[in-house]
Amino acid sequence: MSERIGEQGKSRSILIAGAGPVGLAAALELARRGFLPRIVDDGSGPTPMEESRALGVNARTLTLLSPSGVANHILAAAQPIERFRVRSDKKILIQLDTREVKGRFSAVCALPQGSTERLLMEALSVYGISPEWQTAVVADAMSDPRKPEVTLRRTDGTSETVRPDILIGSDGAHSAVRKALGAGFPGEALEAYFYLADFRYAEPVDTHFGEISLFDPGMVGRLPVTADIIRYISTLENFESRIVHPAAIAEKTWASQFRINFRHVEPMAKGNVFLAGDAAHIHSPAGARGMNLGVEDACWLAWLIAEGREQEYSALRIPAVKQVLKQTYALTRLITMTNPLAIAARNLFAPLLLRFGPARRILLQNVAGYDTPRPPWIDWAE
Ligand SMILES: Cc1cc2nc3c(=O)[nH]c(=O)nc-3n(C[C@H](O)[C@H](O)[C@H](O)COP(=O)(O)OP(=O)(O)OC[C@H]3O[C@@H](n4cnc5c(N)ncnc54)[C@H](O)[C@@H]3O)c2cc1C
């Protein structure tokens, strides 16, 4: 589909609050269409390399980042996840080959968030744009979001008032932009905590598969981070004793714990202020959709701005957001269940169901992120 880019439209001033993966993707997609967005972040640089955070890059994100050339760089740097399996004790309940999904890319690969951000920054620098670090967006309650006004406060003590034509709030779960809009963030927090630890091994290990080991109750997931680092993620606080390490441990590179929230804002825009990524929706890491859904918001928003149709953004994104939240909620409940009868039923029926082609196909489509509307500006089949 051709893109309508009016020269006048391109001169609109755009401020992006937050240079995480979502803000960077928005900036890049705008820049390659001829816009010159300004992107600011209150941090001092991209996500540190040892804090891998979002790992799974799905096929839809690769499609979206193909026109900018970033997808090829991601594929060159990422660990392919060829197989994914779910086991209970020694029994394999589910085994999926991520390459079975139709299309150019396998369903998912793994790249630490810090690497993805650096690749996006590199591509952005070609257009002469770099994030302005240590620059916080501070916003009072916005009386008229059609004419956004915010203060940029730098750590050197200087500040500046800006009135962009368009303000994109990609400033994460505690978004100052969302709060300035007076928008709620309804949803729920699960009782369960998730714990994670990344281990570097003394030698390269098999990184070609992801795995969930189910216990009674609880789970430990295993995902590759790099050729010699594996991430373990669990609902059990003492999970490290359950890990079967594939080689001698060189070091624990990162550990963290977090409580799972399922929340989203509705609508995702008011006037000329737009929310994307974690600023608009948060959910569990089950299914590795968090960052991918945010990158999808960013790419749709950039396209709509270029088309002069940004007022359609919220209506187009909300159904996709709700669907992904519903799915990740169901998946999270499935892996965190504690009732012994429910656990026994899950362990019996899930493998039976996934013996059927259609069920496997649907699951793979979800992992690939192909269950949300296709980007209409990309004219090749995914
Ligand atoms: C510990 C942890 C583990 C995670 N693990 C996974 C995982 O395994 N899989 C997965 O899919 N997701 C995971 N996530 C979630 C994933 O990191 C997010 O979905 C993703 O980072 C969302 O990107 P974003 O750009 O919307 O927000 P963020 O990455 O949060 O980026 C927001 C940016 O905005 C900046 N900012 C904030 N406030 C302001 C302000 N007022 N002014 C200017 N800048 C501001 C911040 O410095 C930050 O750089 C994890 C998150 C955490 C915290």
112-122 pLDDT per residue, tens: 999 999 999 99
For the cut 90, the answer to whether the pLDDT of residue 294 exceeds it is yes
- The boundaries of the domain holding residue 327 are 9-368
Residue closest by Cα to atom 52 of ligand 1: 53
Question: Model confidence at 41, in pLDDT bands (50, 70, 90)?
Answer: very high
Nearest-CA residue for ligand 1 atom 21 is: 291
**Is residue 278 lining ligand 1, measured as CB closer than 6 Å?**
yes
In a domain, 130, yes or no: yes
**pLDDT score of 2:** 40
Please name the residue ranges forming H helices in the chain. 7-10, 21-31, 59-64, 70-77, 113-125, 176-181, 290-307, 313-336, 340-353, 357-368
Q: Give the number of the atom of ligand 1 that is nearest the alpha carbon of residue 136.
A: 42
What pLDDT sits at residue 269? Answer: 98
Residue 214 has pLDDT above 50, yes or no: yes
Q: What angle do CA 323, 268, 316 make, to 5 degrees?
A: 55
Question: Does residue 4 sit within a domain?
Answer: no
Q: 191 versus 45: which is more confidently predicted?
A: 45
Count the domains in the chain: 1
- Ligand 1 in contact with 231 (CB < 6 A)? no
Report the distance separating Cα 238 and Cα 168, nearest Å. Answer: 40
Average pLDDT over residues 291-300: 98
Residue 376 inside a domain? The answer is: no
Q: What is the CA radius of gyration of the chain?
A: 21
Say which residue the tokens 């892996």 belong to.
335
Q: Whole-angstrom Cα distance, residue 315 to residue 13?
A: 23
Does residue 380 lie in a domain region?
Answer: no
291 lines ligand 1 (CB under 6 A): yes
Cα of 291 from ligand 1 centre, angstroms = 8
Ligand 1 binding pocket includes 55 (Cβ within 6 Å): yes
Confidence of residue 371 (pLDDT cuts 50, 70, 90): very high
- Whether 382 is in a domain gets the answer no
Q: Which residue from 291, 293, 335 has its CB within 8 A of the most atoms of ligand 1, so it is best to mutate?
A: 291
Ligand 1, pocket-test mutation among 16, 22, 137, most atoms within 8 A of CB: 22
Asked whether 290 lines ligand 1 (CB < 6 A), one says yes
List, for residues 307-354, the tens digit of each pLDDT value. Answer: 999 999 999 999 999 999 999 998 888 888 888 888 888 878 877 777
Ligand 1 atom 30, closest CA: 172
pLDDT in tens, 249-285: 999 999 999 988 999 999 999 999 999 999 999 998 8
Of the candidates 165, 162, 166, which has an alpha carbon nearest to the alpha carbon of residue 135?
162
DSSP conformational letter for 267: S
Q: Is the CB of 117 under 6 A from ligand 1?
A: no
CA 20 – ligand 1 centroid, Å: 6
- Laid out side by side, the sheet with 150-154 consists of 135-138, 150-154, 159-162
User: Using 50, 70 and 90 to split pLDDT, how confident is the model at 1?
Assistant: very low
The reported pLDDT for the residue numbered 6 is 53
Q: Assess if residue 219 is contained within a domain.
A: yes
pLDDT average, residue stretch 67-71: 97
Within a domain: residue 274?
yes
Residue 188 resides in a domain: yes
Q: Is the CB of 18 under 6 A from ligand 1?
A: yes
CATH code for position 33: 3.50.50.60
Question: What's the confidence (pLDDT) of residue 7?
Answer: 58
Task: Measure CA 288 to chain center.
Answer: 7
The pLDDT tens digits of the residues spanning 49-63 come to 888 789 999 999 999
